[in-house]
Structure 1
Amino acid sequence: YKLKVPFAILSPTQDHVSGKIPFNPVAEAYYSPYFRTKASLYEQVATVIQIMAPLFKHIYNDRGYTKQLFPSDPNVPPGNELMSQAEVYIMESDPIVDYPRPKLPNVKLVGGLSVGPAKELQEPFKSFVERS
């Protein structure tokens, strides 16, 4: 931010607050411990609270985080403002597992940020793959 040059954000998750993206917390199923199509009201409320609590902490404690990271610069903007100035957001995504979600044109979804060496399949999966 001090050099006033364009920069990119590399993130394993989509940050709705910094990206200013509207979202429906009930649709964020990957956060939920309840992977059923029919969830009770209690389970739905618990999921919404589980998703919203970190967001509120992130919003209201943002100035504190930047003061810890940049103690020598009292004029550093909050983290949300720094992230919103990024030209491109590079987010990790798996098109097979993920579901459609809203994204801005400057958000690029890439896969494999956490890819490791392939492991050999164990039985019975190995024999099934060899037969097919």
Structure 2
Amino acid sequence: MRIRRRSVFYLALASVLNFSVFVLAWDFLGLFTNTLPPLLSICVISLSITALFVSVWISTTVVTITWLRRIALIVVLAASLATVVGEVVVLNSEDGNLGVGLIPATGTLLHMLLAALLFALCFIHSASKTIPGMAGDQSIRSRVS
């Protein structure tokens, strides 16, 4: 696993961005209590699209393990697709439809899952600098004559 100097910072940034989609969509901070619902949906849609681009960029440039990169890309695509499509459907649907609300809820929960995955990758990248053999250290391998 090749480690770049700013990899941990970029992974943490993408993790915080995906976590902020979850926090903003569920309005834990109460920022949108006195506003109209379309403003919250528009903010969640724009933040989800931003999280999509940032997470794809981070996954393709920082994560060097192929299967882990593919999992991250699948999760971020599913999360952004469910969040954006779900929020657009919620904006255009009638009130009280529970099934419509489950689509963006699933997308925001996938954003939370992706934030946890990227946050775990921060620790994996940090630990790989100190574990022999992870950062390309050849001193632990035996010589074969």
Which TM-score applies when normalising by structure 2? Answer: 0.29
Q: Higher RCO, 1 or 2 (CA under 8 Å, sep at least 6)?
A: 2
Determine which structure has the larger helix proportion and give its number.
2
Which TM-score applies when normalising by structure 1? Answer: 0.31
